[in-house]
Amino acid sequence: MTEPLPIDRQEDERDDEYALDPDLVAAIMESVDAGDRVGVLSQIGDLHVADLADLTEQIDPEHRRRFIELVWADVDQEFLVEVEEGVRDEIVSYLAPEMLAEAVRDLETDDAVYLLEDLEESTQREVLAALEPADRAAVAKSLSYPEGTAGRLMQSDFVKAPPFWTVGQMIDFLRASDDLPEEFYDVIIVDPAAKPVGKVALGTLLGARRPVTLESLMADDFRTLHVEEPEEDVAYAFNQYHIVSAPVVDDSGRAVGVITIDDAMEVLEDAAEEDIKRLGGVGDEEISDRVWEISKRRFPWLAVNLVTAILASLVIALYEDAISELVALAVLMPIVASMGGNAGTQTLTVAVRALATRDLTSTNAMRVVARETLVGLANGIAFAVVMGIVAWIWFADPVLGAVIAVAMVVNLLVAGMAGILIPIGLDKLGADPALASGAFVTTVTDVVGFLAFLGLAAAVLL
């Protein structure tokens, strides 16, 4: 009887379940080096487009180009939609317009727009010219809307019907149609002016009897989105109201497209990823970016951090004589600043995410500020006791222990306040709290920490 795997081994195997097999990647690279097109195609034959995208991202640029040249004509070109933006732009740069048009023909409107929106206008025109007239009109219309709006996010193909149709008529129409969207979840009910008045989920449709009218099956929680509504607001609406799909309307209220949950959730994922990157000061960076590109993006915020570090150093310089007389201050002062910085970052992370998800509003802002201040105070008291005892035993000086204890309370209290007030203030001013808050919070906690500890020590111990 086979022994079951240990729990940790089972978890490791589950973690790797969706990862590409390194041996497969190495074998594919060998086939690419040998120019073995048949071998490469046989090795990637069972890969999902998402896995094919992962493979394309993981290999180096030179192998990537040769790989694309070998397999382009024989793979599902939808993988271009799945790759990182930087890799996608690189691949598109060495594809002829007719090759790109070939890929776009088989895509939904929203995916086609995603591929084309960052191209130069001359290349866009060449690709659009190679499309069928109906597809060309739909893609061009979506591209005419501002970037980052519902108009860019929607797909133009959707299923619509009048409210007086019966379930039987609707099902017969769906069965007879040879031009349905590849994926859809609802039938949009429109009036004679093509304005949406409701929707019927496919599950509801299939569960009803043929004589029942669509109007009697329409969902109660029906919502429409305007073509120029920001995509962040679209994603928020989908997440907040558990929407699966929603029609998009133009200025006249006519239905011009539909947005589905997969596109909305992708916007949410991108927004969350962007917040994490900005909190780290790395900007719009991808794992496939080159050294120069990464260095250029990181440099500005490293420069900002240098300025804040200099400010903290100036505070230390004010107490140079005190530090030279009592070396223990130099040993202990990084602890106070570090604890404050970490506490501030914890609060900051929660605040930035709450602002992004709109859970932190003017209604509950003061309550959250009070809560975070009290959390900072509670942690400050707890760690004050710990560090006070440590410093007392370490340097055999109870007064020094009391000094660092008070400084710890002050800095963690201020860290809690700064971590919540700074992002709220930046948000009110229209600045991105994820991008700018980190440097301000670090500066505040360092300066306050050094001032509290060194100032108190100079006053009490010397």
Which helix (H) or strand (E) segment holds residue 259: the answer is strand 255-260
Q: What is the structure's pLDDT at 414? A: 94
Where does the pLDDT of residue 288 fall: very low under 50, low under 70, confident under 90, or very high at 90 and above? low
Listed in order, the ranges of the chain carrying CATH 1.25.60.10 are 20-148
Report which of residues 190 and 179 the model is more confident about. 190
As a whole number of Å, the CA-based R_g of the chain is 29
pLDDT, one tens digit per residue, over 124-178 is: 888 888 888 888 888 888 888 999 999 999 998 899 999 999 999 999 999 999 8
Give the Å distances, CA to CA, from 415 to 9, 239, 296, 384. 41, 32, 30, 14
For residue 110, give the DSSP letter. Answer: H
Does residue 356 or residue 33 have the better pLDDT? 33
Q: State whether CATH 3.10.580.10 applies to domain 160-263.
A: yes
| SS3 (DSSP) at 333 | helix
Name 320's Cβ contacts closer than 8 Å, sequence gap at least 6: none
Question: What sections of 194-260 are H helices per DSSP?
Answer: 202-206, 231-241
Report which of 283, 292, 223 is spatially closest to residue 258, judged by C-alpha positions: 223
Q: Measuring CA to CA, how many Å separate 152 from each of 254, 263, 329?
A: 16, 11, 58
Residue 4 has pLDDT above 80, yes or no: no
pTM for the structure as a whole: 0.73
pLDDT at 205: 95
Position 5 pLDDT exceeds 60: no
| Chain segment 106-130, per-residue pLDDT in tens | 788 888 888 888 778 888 888 888 8
Q: pLDDT-derived band of residue 375, with 50, 70 and 90 as boundaries?
A: very high
Q: Is the torsion defined by CA of 335, 338, 342, 343 positive or negative?
A: positive
Cβ-contact 414, 363 below 8 angstroms: no
Q: Class assignment of domain 20-148?
A: mainly alpha
Cα separation of 68 and 366, whole Å? Answer: 55
Residues of the chain above pLDDT 70, percent: 94
Packed helices 85-93 and 61-71: angle between N→C axes, nearest 10 degrees: 60
Residue 297 in contact with residue 283, Cβ under 8 Å?
yes
The distance between the two most distant Cα atoms of the chain, rounded to a whole number of Å, is: 93
Q: Where in the chain is the domain with CATH 3.10.580.10?
A: 160-263
Cβ contact 350:441 at 8 Å: no
Residue-level pLDDT at 283: 65
244 within 8 A of 185, measured Cβ to Cβ: yes
At residue 1 the predicted structure's pLDDT band, cuts being 50, 70 and 90, is very low
User: Is 80 exceeded by the pLDDT of residue 18?
Assistant: no
Two tokens at 123?
Answer: 């290349």
Q: What is the pLDDT of residue 92?
A: 84
Q: Which CATH number applies to 291-461?
A: 1.10.357.20
Position 2 confidence tier, pLDDT thresholds 50, 70, 90: very low
